[in-house]
Structure 1
Amino acid sequence: MGISGTLLSPIINSLVIKYGFTVALLVCAGMFAVTAIIAISALKAPPEGYMADYAASKKIGGATISAKQYTTGEMVKTKAYYLITAAFMFAMPAYVLISAIFVAVGKERGIDASLLVTGVMIASLGQVAGRFLISTISDKIGRKPALIFSFAITAAMIILLVSAQSTLYIIGFTFLAFAYGGTVATFPSLVSDYFGVKHIGINYAVIMIGFGLATIFTPIMSKAVLATERGITLSFIIAGCAAVFAILLILVLRKPKEEVKKVEIS
């Protein structure tokens, strides 16, 4: 994800052309295993009791940060949990759908294969930019406005991609990747604002159920509508409508009443 797409896309494409998918996958597996082992070995656990004196001390974009540290059991009893998880689920289909078929659809539209590979690289950079820019914006204007902005881009771009050709097709995918990067970077902050940071690891994992459901049901939806008269166009439209529905979910999202607490900016 992110910049790895820029660095690895030409390498993987070359390996597939020269040696086939099996060799390309084995090389990728080897690279990922070595990189992950080296990276994880450098991590150290925080000292015991590092959260003992935690207290909310500021606002983000006018929204109060949670002073209560929700356990997962407490979190799943709130309405906010289900709204956030559902918003995550409905925000994802557009990117999950197009990222899997970007090259295939591009070739069907007569776009040169080398341009499509370049498009994947550019979109990967766009995803990195989204992770930095939209998450930074969320620190200034709040998580909800930032996510609404991201979802709006998602909806607009997937509809654009219904008929986009050549360079416009690449641009649309790049902005879709930008919005995806911003979305996945901002959701952890939203979860910590609403439910605290002490249990953020397991809490965010449970929120990620929404992402998992999107990756399961988006291909099923796409396959089902391919048999219809409008085919892939209809799947794009459904994904765009899902992003709009995610906006509505964020608009009605509120913190649990027992959590709302005024705090001063330190």
Structure 2
Amino acid sequence: MSKTQDVGNRGWIVAMAGMGVNLALGVLYSWGAFQGVLVNDPYSWTATQSQIPYMIACFIFAVSMVPGGSLQDKIGPRTVIVSAGVLALIGMVLSGYLITPVGLSISFGIIFGLAMGFGYAAPTPAAVKWFGPHKRGLMSGIVVSGFGLAGIYVAPLVRFLLAQYGLSQTFVILGVAYGIVIVVLAQFISNPPVGFVPEPPPKSIAHKYAAKAKGVVVDWEWKQMVKTPQFFGLWAMFCIGTFAGLLIIGQLRSIGVEQANLSENLAFWLISMYALFNWGGRIGCGIIADKLGAKNSLVAMFILQVIVFVVFGTFTTAVPLFIGTALVAFAFGGMLTIFPAITANYFGIKNLGVNYGLVFTAWGGGGVFGPLVGGIVRDMTGAYGLSYTISAVLSIVGIILAVTMKAPKEIHEDAPIPAKTGKAVKAR
């Protein structure tokens, strides 16, 4: 028998604690602050070299979402997030003593990348499971907003720590602090109990979320999901949507200084402003997606990216660059909210951890190729203009995919699905 439980407090506690975990792990989105130190004396890395640890971290982050999500579904989020806290501490502390392209690729790229994957994989599915479908966009937005919001405090904090203690000790201080915070917050995050029934949608919109007919598989296994064209469509759109945003994030300080002649102080504020609108996009698009639908929201974000990147190279003074960066950040943040919500709506919430983890591997594709293209273009041409054009063209492809996307066809049970194989299903 199903039991209904008031989620008023518990669900919101899980969501807010999850946002806090992402606030710690979101130091990735302030890589531009570290990158600005690495390309100058005494390190003198090239633009491409300065992106390698960041690229690897993005890739490991995305790939480790799959085992992290699977563990979340099987053993719950708390243990997974505690592991993330320990890995974050180890990775950042080691980064303070391994400041070479290879060293940071291992400590920050691989170890801290694993921390991000495990820490990011667990809170969002846990929070979403406490709420009905009419609040999935908002809950996803709240949890993932921490990752985007991190840059607001990380960029000025990193700048202060760099000035006071240097790069090495900055990594160590952040590692110890983040490790402790993540482990503590993990104690407040859990999945709902077995048999839990979330609050239903209001009667005025209940028809939009009507239960499917008896026998229709609502909670897809990952093996079923990856056989659908919708999975590949979501993956491609997610990769395209994050390509542009991650290209900008990884080199934002350099873009500000070189393209718009910003002072170092303004360049750091540019990073913080990106974080603010990244956060705003996650919350705002969560609300928009709940009202207008994920498909329409995706189309709007891709259109916004096309418009901005067509003219981004002309932003050679502070005000236009700040405005353009804010729009890019809003669209990028929106992508990180829409995709977990649409994955839940298409494929169910029971296996959302591993299912969204597989979709999220696309973020790794964007995280590798976005910064890589930006660094190579900068080293070869002395500017970033060509990379903006590539981002605009890819966003047009994203519009086409979003417009043509349809919900997956229903599958029906012929017999009870075995717990381990999940095979006894067929397409209708």
Q: What is the TM-score normalised by the length of structure 1?
A: 0.87
- Contact between 1:116 and 1:170, CA under 8 Å: does it hold in 2? no
1:148: which partner in 2? 299
Select the residue among 92, 97, 100 that pairs with 2:250: 100
Does residue 176 of structure 2 align to residue 25 of structure 1? Answer: no
Does 9-18 or 89-98 show the bigger shift?
9-18
Displacement after TM superposition at 1:159 (Å): 2.9
Select the residue among 213, 237, 244 that pairs with 2:365: 213
Structure 2 counterparts to residues 59-74 of structure 1, below 5 A? 59=208, 68-74=218-224
Q: 1:115 to 1:230 in 2, by over 3 A?
A: closer
Q: In the aligned structure 2, how far is the partner of 1:232 from the partner of 1:119? A: 17
Does residue 235 of structure 2 align to residue 235 of structure 1? Answer: no
1:41: which partner in 2? 187
CA deviations on 1:182-217 (whole Å, 9 max, x unpaired) are 110111111111111111111000001111111122
Does 79-88 or 114-123 show the bigger shift?
114-123
Does residue 314 of structure 2 align to residue 163 of structure 1? Answer: yes
Q: In the aligned structure 2, how far is the partner of 1:72 from the partner of 1:205? A: 10
Does residue 233 of structure 2 align to residue 83 of structure 1? Answer: yes
Displacement after TM superposition at 1:230 (Å): 7.9
SS in 1 for 2:196: coil
User: Mind listing any 5+ residue stretches in structure 2 that lack a counterpart?
Assistant: 1-146, 201-205, 413-428
SS in 2 for 1:10: helix
What fraction of aligned residue pairs are identical, expressed as a percent? 24
Q: 1:25 to 1:46 in 2, by over 3 A?
A: same
Q: In the aligned structure 1, how far is the partner of 2:208 from the partner of 2:291? A: 10
* CA root-mean-square deviation: 2.5
Q: In the aligned structure 2, how far is the partner of 1:259 from the partner of 1:121? A: 46
Does residue 344 of structure 2 align to residue 192 of structure 1? Answer: yes
Q: In the aligned structure 2, how far is the partner of 1:151 from the partner of 1:58? A: 29
Q: 1:231 to 1:104 in 2, by over 3 A?
A: closer
Amino acid at match of 1:96: L
1:180: which partner in 2? 332
User: Mind listing any 5+ residue stretches in structure 1 that lack a counterpart?
Assistant: 261-266
Q: In the aligned structure 2, how far is the partner of 1:204 from the partner of 1:175? A: 26
- Contact between 2:161 and 2:170, CA under 8 Å: does it hold in 1? yes
Q: In the aligned structure 2, how far is the partner of 1:41 from the partner of 1:59? A: 35
Select the residue among 158, 163, 166 that pairs with 1:12: 158
Amino acid at match of 2:292: I
Q: In the aligned structure 2, how far is the partner of 1:84 from the partner of 1:226? A: 30
Amino acid at match of 2:165: Y
Displacement after TM superposition at 1:226 (Å): 3.9
Q: 1:41 to 1:145 in 2, by over 3 A?
A: same
Displacement after TM superposition at 1:2 (Å): 2.3
CA deviations on 1:143-201 (whole Å, 9 max, x unpaired) are 10111111222222233321202111111111111111111011111111111111111
- Contact between 2:251 and 2:371, CA under 8 Å: does it hold in 1? no
- Contact between 2:252 and 2:270, CA under 8 Å: does it hold in 1? no
Q: In the aligned structure 2, how far is the partner of 1:156 from the partner of 1:67? A: 40
1:128: which partner in 2? 279
Does residue 261 of structure 2 align to residue 115 of structure 1? Answer: no
Displacement after TM superposition at 1:17 (Å): 2.4
Q: In the aligned structure 2, how far is the partner of 1:176 from the partner of 1:103? A: 15
Does 80-89 or 131-140 show the bigger shift?
131-140
Choose between structure 1 and 2 for higher RCO, CA contacts under 8 A separated by at least 6 residues.
1
Q: In the aligned structure 2, how far is the partner of 1:69 from the partner of 1:128? A: 30
Displacement after TM superposition at 1:227 (Å): 5.4
Q: 1:26 to 1:229 in 2, by over 3 A?
A: closer
Displacement after TM superposition at 1:221 (Å): 2.7
Displacement after TM superposition at 1:67 (Å): 6.3
CA deviations on 1:47-100 (whole Å, 9 max, x unpaired) are 124379x9xx6427xxx9x96211100000111000001110011111111111
Q: In the aligned structure 1, how far is the partner of 2:283 from the partner of 2:378? A: 35
